[in-house]
Amino acid sequence: MLILVVEDEALIRMGAVQMLEEAGFAVIEAWNAHDAMEVLEKRTDVRAVFTDVNMHGTWDGMRLARMIRDRWPPIHLIVTSGIVSPGTDDLPSGGRFIRKPYDPAHVIAILRELLSEIPPAGPANHSEKAA
């Protein structure tokens, strides 16, 4: 499952990418919200976006999350910040907030929980033992 990491601080972005790859996720990255939107317009396989709130550029991570929810409702959203703490009403529907510095195990657990909510592509495979 492909995760898009959006973070303008290179070291933090590299750490997040490494954390997710070590957990078995495929990861792509963008350094701001504008770049993230360009990635999403070209790719159909992004299942979740992990974005910082405060970034360089015209849009912050909260605006990015709302734009993603409006255009690609199935994409799961995790928003993170060490500066602001958005309320649940500030996040798009289904979005999650994690305060920095975050615990990698917590981020991975939330991603696995969110991604497990994606319905299977085909009919369920029910195997039964022969009697």
Question: How far is it, in rounded angstroms, from Cα 25 to Cα 19?
Answer: 9
How sure is the predictor about 127, in pLDDT bands with cuts at 50, 70 and 90?
A: very low
How sure is the predictor about 42, in pLDDT bands with cuts at 50, 70 and 90?
A: very high
| CATH architecture for residues 2-115 | 3-Layer(aba) Sandwich (3.40)
User: What is the value of pTM for the model shown?
Assistant: 0.86
For residue 104, say if its preceding peptide bond is cis, omega within 30 degrees of 0. no
Domain range list for the chain = 2-115
| pLDDT given for residue 126 in this prediction | 37
* pLDDT tens by residue, 88-98: 788 999 999 99
Question: What is the greatest pairwise CA distance in the chain?
Answer: 64
Of 59-68, 93-102, 111-120, minimum mean pLDDT range: 111-120
